[in-house]
């Protein structure tokens, strides 16, 4: 796949995450259905959910940077950080 296509896909993911964060902070609630966290009732859970979305945005930005050769492969960095064995290359 081309670098532009990879950057586009992760850019859409990052924009969706930013939209979700802005909406959550604006309304003071996140989630849907039976799983709704509000800022007044559960501030820690709300902040953790927003931080999880921020982590997704940060990962997408790093993937965009990797697509253009500006950073190392984040998947490879995480594998090395957590000592996950890599499958054998044939």
Structure tokens at 67: 């697509």
3-state secondary structure of 87: coil
**Would you place residue 30 in the very low, low, confident or very high pLDDT band (cuts 50, 70, 90)?**
very high
In-domain check, residue 10: yes
Q: Which residue has the tokens 């989630």?
A: 31
- Residue 10 structural domain: 3-81
In-domain check, residue 62: yes
Q: How many domains, in total, are found in the chain?
A: 1
Is residue 3 left, alpha or beta, with left meaning phi > 0 and alpha meaning psi from -120 to 50?
alpha
pTM of the model: 0.82
Helices (H), 1-90: 3-27, 43-67, 74-81
In-domain check, residue 89: no
Compute the radius of gyration of the chain from its Cα atoms: 17
Please tell me the predicted confidence (pLDDT) of residue 19. Answer: 97
pLDDT in tens, 36-76: 999 999 999 999 999 999 999 999 999 999 999 999 988 88
Question: Cβ atoms within 10 A of the Cβ of 12, count?
Answer: 11
The most distant pair of C-alpha atoms in the chain lies apart, rounded to whole Å, by 54
């Amino acid at each position: 796949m081309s670098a532009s296509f990879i950057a586009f896909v992760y850019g859409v993911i990052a924009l969706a995450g930013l939209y979700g964060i802005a909406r959550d902070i604006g309304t003071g609630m996140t989630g849907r259905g039976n799983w709704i966290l509000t800022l007044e009732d559960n501030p820690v859970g709300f902040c953790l959910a927003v931080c999880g979305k921020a982590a997704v945005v940060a990962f997408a930005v790093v993937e965009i940077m990797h697509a253009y050769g500006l950073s190392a492969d984040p998947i490879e960095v995480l594998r090395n950080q957590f000592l996950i064995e890599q499958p054998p290359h044939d």
